[in-house]
């Protein structure tokens, strides 16, 4: 198809004004035609033939396609035929370079839903997808394929949420949008944004609020029930007063511990990005913790045995927070490993570049394997009734994990049913 001529035309394009302009532009041709007609008349040719030849020459000049005139203001400017601008051609190499810099999976599609290219993040998730292959051959999620078809059919961006269960639970926000400036064949960009961590945090926050509410509701309900009993049927029963007040005191103490632990967790989260400015010697610190827990261990019939090096073992850290870590670990070992009657606390390393480790070993019933990965979660309990009977809040190991993360340390738990559990802090 021939290119259209792109010209600007005023209202002089029609009517007598346009005709006068065209005749003036062809004045040389018209003069030549008149001269030729005059010469033909002198030669004795018939006047009709002379007039026909002159008119033929004039209109041939007016209808020439090699030259056009356009009225611009008061002047007539000659304009040659101009081809329309060529459509933009996308540079796939440049697009590939941009997509390669993204850390989110991205796939470039044609209007036929075939793959033009993919970035490294998409290749890591979906594997290599050959150019020109159909998208449905690699991505088999019906929700995503329906969204792609709908977007290409309507010409509008679309977005959906997609969850993968294997190898681990991953949630993506998948979006498709037309690529601006594509050539004759439109291109579409399909992107995957991983929101798994945000969803996980939202779920943990909801679980935390629900668990905290439940833990506070139970002692509050007990207190309310005992207060109503003391105000009513047991108003004058002194023995019931003494028994109920003891239970109320226990429940109030439990709520106080829970609130203290919640405040401790909140404080730790606020301080998680603060630098550690102190240096702590773990040898006297662990000995101090053992001494402070001796009354509890004596009441439970458990002996706490220390194995500490003779040289200082120093780490950068916050003394009060580390005291809280070792108190939690040794107290838990005494409570839940009470049947073994012994808890061993061993501190190693700190000299000649040997890594520093502190282990707390009990010889109790142990922890079932399915529970070990989750015992540092907030409010997670292996045995709810046993935990409550031992005055646990379900937050102790969560606090330990937070503190150790800030100190660039980690907690390793090994347990064998019937033989006991070992909690090891590795700095």
Domains and CATH numbers, the chain: 11-79 (no CATH), 92-194 (3.30.450.20), 199-270 (1.10.287.130), 279-426 (3.30.565.10)
CB under 8 A, 24+ apart: contacts of 365-373: 365/336, 365/337, 365/339, 365/417, 365/418, 365/420, 366/415, 366/416, 366/417, 366/418, 366/419, 366/420, 366/421, 367/413, 367/415, 367/417, 367/421, 368/417, 369/415, 372/413, 372/415
Between β-strands 187-194 and 106-110, what pairing exists: parallel, antiparallel or unpaired?
antiparallel
E strand or H helix at 322 = helix 319-336
Rounded CA-CA distance 164/171 in Å is 6
Q: Are 3 and 86 in contact (CB under 8 A)?
A: no
Using one digit for the tens of pLDDT, what is the confidence trace for 35-62? 666 666 676 655 555 565 556 555 555 5
Instruction: Give pLDDT, residue 75.
Output: 43
- Torsion sign, CA atoms 298, 304, 310, 311: negative
Q: Are 372 and 385 in contact (CB under 8 A)?
A: no
Instruction: Give pLDDT, residue 177.
Output: 92
- Written as six digits, the tokens of 144 are 């995503």
Instruction: Give pLDDT, residue 60.
Output: 56
Instruction: Give pLDDT, residue 391.
Output: 61
Place of tokens 């997609």: 162
- Written as six digits, the tokens of 29 are 């041709």
Instruction: Give pLDDT, residue 343.
Output: 92
Question: Which parts of the chain register pLDDT below 70?
Answer: 1-41, 43-91, 166-168, 180-184, 207, 211, 214, 270, 272-274, 383-393
Q: For residue 171, which phi and psi values (nearest 5 degrees)?
A: -115, 130
pTM of the predicted structure, to 2 decimals = 0.49
């Amino acid at each position: 198809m021939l290119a259209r001529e792109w010209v600007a035309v005023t209202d002089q394009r029609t009517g007598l004004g346009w005709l006068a302009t065209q005749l003036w532009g062809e004045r040389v041709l018209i003069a030549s035609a008149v001269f030729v007609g005059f010469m033909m008349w002198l030669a004795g040719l018939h006047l009709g033939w002379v007039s026909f030849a002159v008119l033929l020459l004039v209109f041939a000049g007016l209808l020439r396609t090699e030259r056009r005139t356009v009225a611009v203001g008061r002047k007539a400017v000659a304009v040659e035929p101009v081809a329309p601008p060529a459509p933009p051609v996308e540079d796939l190499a440049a697009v590939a370079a941009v997509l390669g810099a993204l850390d989110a999976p991205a796939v470039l599609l044609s209007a036929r839903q075939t793959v033009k290219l993919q970035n490294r993040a998409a290749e890591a998730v979906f594997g290599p997808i050959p150019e020109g292959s159909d998208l449905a051959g690699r991505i088999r999620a019906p929700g995503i394929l329906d969204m792609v078809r709908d977007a290409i059919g309507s010409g509008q961006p679309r977005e959906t949420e997609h969850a993968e269960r294997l190898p681990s639970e991953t949630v993506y926000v998948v979006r498709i949008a037309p690529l601006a400036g594509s050539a004759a064949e439109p291109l579409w960009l399909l992107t995957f944004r991983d929101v798994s961590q945000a969803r996980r945090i939202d779920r943990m926050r909801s679980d935390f609020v629900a668990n905290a509410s439940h833990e506070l509701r139970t002692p509050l309900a007990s207190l309310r029930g005992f207060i109503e009993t003391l105000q009513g049927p047991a108003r004058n029963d002194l023995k019931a007063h003494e028994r109920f007040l003891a239970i109320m005191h226990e429940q109030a103490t439990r709520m106080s511990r829970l609130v203290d632990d919640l405040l401790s967790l909140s404080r730790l989260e606020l301080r998680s990005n603060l630098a550690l400015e102190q240096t702590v010697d773990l040898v006297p610190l662990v000995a101090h913790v053992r001494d402070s827990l001796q009354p509890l261990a004596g009441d439970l019939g458990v002996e706490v045995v220390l194995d500490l090096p003779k040289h200082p073992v120093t780490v950068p850290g916050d003394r009060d927070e580390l005291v809280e870590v070792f108190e939690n670990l040794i107290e838990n070992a005494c409570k839940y490993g009470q049947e073994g009657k012994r808890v061993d606390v061993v501190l190693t390393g700190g000299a000649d570049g040997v890594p520093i480790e502190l282990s707390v070993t009990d010889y109790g019933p142990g922890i079932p394997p399915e529970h070990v990965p989750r015992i540092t979660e907030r409010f997670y309990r292996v045995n709810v009734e046993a935990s409550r009977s031992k005055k646990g809040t379900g937050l102790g190991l969560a606090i330990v994990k937070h503190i150790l993360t800030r100190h660039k340390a980690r907690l390793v738990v090994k347990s064998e049913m019937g033989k006991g559990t070992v909690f090891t802090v590795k700095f």
